[in-house]
Chain A
Amino acid sequence: MNNELINDPGAAIVRLLPENASFGFKNGFLCLSFNGEGSEEYNRVFLHRVFPFELLWEYISVLDADNKEIGLIYNISDFDDRTKEMLKKELERKYYSPVIRSVDSLKERYGFSYWSATTTEGRKIEFTIQDTFRHVTRIGEDKCIISDVDGNRFIIESLSALDKKSYRRIELYL
């Protein structure tokens, strides 16, 4: 996209910054007091990662209850520490994907692969993947996302940091 198009009114994006947006929690949900053009109180807003695989804390779309975009947070670090923590917590809560530290066993059987793994918190997890090659997705050189039969997601943040045995177990699917 060239610069001229960025300035087109159709491409205009409301950027949420501490000046025009103040976030809080209400009934267990994130709420927003928006003071930009057409200021409004939102009892409940939803955060949505625009680039969920690459940018976890940047380009966060803020939606209202009807799924309409109120604005975009370019980087949660634009906000003060308290708000930043709040946004981070809300995003982590919505995007629930345990991070895998090691793959302890992986057995192929009947077209499914049965995994036992340990998360970074030391929790042992077990899950099943159908059509393993399609559901182990490599993101860039070193990261990998695994989706199981139920739709749960697991992340391997750094393939190179995996122990040798774990790597050898999943190597075939990468």
Chain B
Amino acid sequence: MKGKFIISFDFNLHPTEANKLTNGNLTLYENSLIVTENGTETHNLRVDDIEELKVENGVGCIFVSYISKIDKSVHLLCRNDLTDSKAIIKKVRRINLYIEDRCIPKGETDYIEKCPKCGRPFKDGSNICLYCSDKKQLIKRTWGLFLPYKGYVFTAILLFFFISGLNLVLPYINRIAVDNYIQPKEPGAVDISEFVLVILSMLALDLIIRTISVIRTHLLIAAGNKMIINLRNTLFDKVQRLSIAKISKRTTGDLMRRVTGDVWVLQNFIINYLPGALEEIAVLVCVSVYLAVYDWKLFLLIMIPTPFVVASFRLFWRFMRKLFHKRWLAGSKANSVLHDIFSGIRVVKAFGMEQKEGVRYEKATAHERYMQEKTDCIWSVLMPILRYFIGFGEFIILFYVGNKILDGKMTLGEMTQFSAYAGMIYGPLRMIAHIPRHLMEFNTSSAKIFEILDEKEDVANSIDSVDIEIKGDIDINNVSFGYDSGTEVLHKVDIHIKQGEFIGLVGASGVGKSTLINLIMRMYDVEDGSITVDGVDIRDISQESLRSQMGVVLQETFLFSGTIYQNIAYAKPEATRDEIIAVSKIAGCHDFISRLPDGYNTRVGERGFTLSGGERQRVAIARALLHNPKILILDEATSALDTETEKQIQDALSRISKKCTTIAIAHRLSTLRNATRLVVLDKGRVAEVGTHDELLEKEGIYYGLVMAQREMAQM
């Protein structure tokens, strides 16, 4: 009896035949696990006989195997390329939870990695498909951002059409000037004062057009800038609220690009491109309507070259863009060679490689020069040819209008008027050829921006989250957790910590110590089990309340640009100088800080004074202590210190830790000698718990670690 269906996934590679594809499926039922390939059953296992399923990484593929409960032997079940690997990894973890407890695990059941519409995988931790994103929706949403400034925008649009209308009048007055005054039907009957008036009216009209243009541009820029600043702040706010899990799916560079680069694309489009494009379109519409009504034959003649103009411009740009891109690549390659050499100049000199590096740079610049010459040459030949062909339309009009003049059906003034209109049509056409490209860039960037804005906050405060006054009891109840890319990191971890205890987390690299600490800080949410502080699930405590009562010193001690004083007072800017000095004394950094020429006002961080690794750590400890934490977390917080300094700090910390609960990770075991209890983690599970002496007596993993370090120390 296989029982009811629990979970299943498909796989696409033959487990043993290297490049053979298969149509496979692995399904877990209540009592059995069945694997089929192309409809044929290859494995039918009793759940009771399976210890666990294992995912192993190949290169370009993953393997899923099972460990038999009977003889602990490992057997290969299936293989898949990496396309759906993340979903498979998640499902294998859930299968393992089921095998162990025989109950369907709670938690995330969302395995979707592909767009339900087009089947293309979501990219880069995103949950929208750029391919299917609704373009109209994007424009509508961007317009939504403008709504608070709609007064500005509507006025600007009205002014666009007003200016376009006025632009039509100018050639008309010009025509009057030519027909009535420059070449009148009856020579000699020209009133010079009237002629001057016509010229003055043209000047005045031009002035009005330019003034309104300035107002219109100003309005749009004001609205655009306000909207962009607003958008950038909203985006920044949102990124700050995202969980570490979501943030770490993206690189810092990617986030920076979205907050600055993509917003800049929008800004550039809205402020620099859109007004010009709108104006050109408005002119195009107005002129076309006027011409079509006035002389439809002439209008058609003007419009005949239009498709050719647009198509040839698009083709030309597509070709040139490829070339420009190659040129840009060559340039950036040369730059990166230069950057590489300059960054490593000490190594270059130390190994006497100046000449070789010189040749490398020369080679890169030679390629850049070649690409530059090539693009310039093609540009200088193609552009005039294109312009010549575009000018063709104007020659056709000249021929048509010229004939009409010769037949006496049209005046010279009318000809100048229509030539001006033809110019007004061809100008916008050149611009219109670029619209698809600009629009695409705009769409891409706005899609990326909205993606962040729409991102679900997975570690969000629950609606009924509470602020609590933390005492310091921490209960980690059967917690299991794994990151997206790998297998389970923590498995059924169960630790109960009392207020005021100093817990040392011990274990080899990669056993899950830092992950456990991240879970306690609620940087991620647990997959299975729960973590409570003073009996309250941390998912029900507001994040601000939880973290404001925790002091944290992490492995990478990051100091912001600013003074040492500002860095220590980071989480409590209102701290007094005496408080700052007190925590600095405890953290063992007061002495070296006061010896610096600028004391606590010494600037650190980017372009600041360079502190050594140990000094940075001590500043970070002072920062963590300043807001009198109820829970203190130290992740390799004293690893860069010499043993003597570390001992002093440890003694000070152990005095403080009586008032707060401390959890510390350290590879150097002497760091944890003051710990009330040690928890030894092994392969994501709690292997041993006890005091230093108890664990030594046990002669287990901890004993082995201590012995190994003693041996090292004796050397």
Q: Which of B59, B79, B124, B443 has the most CB of A within 10 A?
A: B59
* Closest CB in chain B relative to A35 CB, distance in Å: 23
Asked if A95 CB lies within 8 Å of chain B CBs, one says yes
- In the bound complex, what is the Cα–Cα distance between A152 and B83 (angstroms)? 7
Asked if A94 CB lies within 8 Å of chain B CBs, one says yes
Q: Are A172 and B326 in contact (CB-based, < 8 A)?
A: yes
Q: Are A149 and B123 in contact (CB-based, < 8 A)?
A: yes
* Closest CB in chain A relative to B557 CB, distance in Å: 30
The residues of A that contact B21 with a CB separation of less than 8 Å are 123
Contact among A93, A110, A151, A172 for B79, CB-based, below 8 A: A93
The residues of A that contact B58 with a CB separation of less than 8 Å are 93-96
* Chain A contacts with B in 55-94, Cβ cutoff 8 A: 89, 92-94
The residues of B that contact A150 with a CB separation of less than 8 Å are 81-83, 85, 121
B120-151 CB contact bits vs A (8 Å, 1 = yes)? 11011000001100000000000000000000
Q: Are A172 and B124 in contact (CB-based, < 8 A)?
A: no
Q: Are B74 and A44 in contact (CB-based, < 8 A)?
A: yes
- In the bound complex, what is the Cα–Cα distance between A172 and B328 (angstroms)? 11
| Chain B residue at minimal CB-CB distance from A97 | B60
- In the bound complex, what is the Cα–Cα distance between A122 and B61 (angstroms)? 20
- In the bound complex, what is the Cα–Cα distance between A93 and B329 (angstroms)? 36
Q: Are B18 and A110 in contact (CB-based, < 8 A)?
A: no
Asked if A109 CB lies within 8 Å of chain B CBs, one says yes
| Chain B residue at minimal CB-CB distance from A152 | B82
Q: Are B15 and A28 in contact (CB-based, < 8 A)?
A: yes
B60-75 CB contact bits vs A (8 Å, 1 = yes)? 1100010000000111
Asked if A121 CB lies within 8 Å of chain B CBs, one says yes
* Closest CB in chain B relative to A99 CB, distance in Å: 9
The residues of B that contact A137 with a CB separation of less than 8 Å are none
Asked if B632 CB lies within 8 Å of chain A CBs, one says no
The residues of B that contact A28 with a CB separation of less than 8 Å are 15-16, 65, 75-76
Asked if A135 CB lies within 8 Å of chain B CBs, one says no
The residues of A that contact B444 with a CB separation of less than 8 Å are 110-111
| Chain A residue at minimal CB-CB distance from B56 | A46
The residues of A that contact B19 with a CB separation of less than 8 Å are 92, 96, 98, 121
Asked if A133 CB lies within 8 Å of chain B CBs, one says yes
Asked if A128 CB lies within 8 Å of chain B CBs, one says yes
Q: Are A110 and B59 in contact (CB-based, < 8 A)?
A: no
* Closest CB in chain B relative to A129 CB, distance in Å: 10
Asked if B238 CB lies within 8 Å of chain A CBs, one says no
The residues of A that contact B123 with a CB separation of less than 8 Å are 112, 128, 130, 149
Contact among A97, A98, A149 for B59, CB-based, below 8 A: A97
- In the bound complex, what is the Cα–Cα distance between A109 and B21 (angstroms)? 29
* Chain B contacts with A in 440-467, Cβ cutoff 8 A: 440, 443-444, 447
Asked if A143 CB lies within 8 Å of chain B CBs, one says no
The residues of B that contact A133 with a CB separation of less than 8 Å are 329
The residues of A that contact B65 with a CB separation of less than 8 Å are 28
* Closest CB in chain B relative to A49 CB, distance in Å: 8
Q: Are B325 and A172 in contact (CB-based, < 8 A)?
A: yes
Asked if A166 CB lies within 8 Å of chain B CBs, one says no
- In the bound complex, what is the Cα–Cα distance between A151 and B130 (angstroms)? 19
- In the bound complex, what is the Cα–Cα distance between A98 and B59 (angstroms)? 12
| Chain B residue at minimal CB-CB distance from A27 | B75
- In the bound complex, what is the Cα–Cα distance between A112 and B81 (angstroms)? 20
- In the bound complex, what is the Cα–Cα distance between A112 and B58 (angstroms)? 25
| Chain A residue at minimal CB-CB distance from B13 | A96
Q: Are A153 and B59 in contact (CB-based, < 8 A)?
A: yes
* Closest CB in chain B relative to A167 CB, distance in Å: 14
- In the bound complex, what is the Cα–Cα distance between A150 and B80 (angstroms)? 12
* Chain B contacts with A in 3-62, Cβ cutoff 8 A: 13, 15-19, 21, 58-61
* Closest CB in chain A relative to B708 CB, distance in Å: 16
Contact among B83, B329, B447 for A110, CB-based, below 8 A: B447
Asked if B322 CB lies within 8 Å of chain A CBs, one says yes
* Closest CB in chain B relative to A133 CB, distance in Å: 7
* Closest CB in chain A relative to B690 CB, distance in Å: 26
Q: Are B18 and A92 in contact (CB-based, < 8 A)?
A: yes
- In the bound complex, what is the Cα–Cα distance between A19 and B123 (angstroms)? 50
* Closest CB in chain A relative to B323 CB, distance in Å: 10
B402-418 CB contact bits vs A (8 Å, 1 = yes)? 00000000000000000
Asked if A29 CB lies within 8 Å of chain B CBs, one says yes
The residues of A that contact B83 with a CB separation of less than 8 Å are 150, 152
* Chain A contacts with B in 128-155, Cβ cutoff 8 A: 128, 130, 133, 149-153
Asked if A22 CB lies within 8 Å of chain B CBs, one says no
Q: Are A152 and B81 in contact (CB-based, < 8 A)?
A: yes
- In the bound complex, what is the Cα–Cα distance between A30 and B120 (angstroms)? 35
The residues of A that contact B440 with a CB separation of less than 8 Å are 110
A residues in contact (CB < 8 Å) with B: 27-29, 43-44, 52, 89, 92-98, 109-112, 114, 121, 123, 128, 130, 133, 149-153, 172
Nearest 10 Cβ contacts at the A-B interface: A92-B18, A28-B76, A96-B61, A110-B130, A96-B60, A94-B58, A151-B82, A150-B82, A153-B60, A110-B444
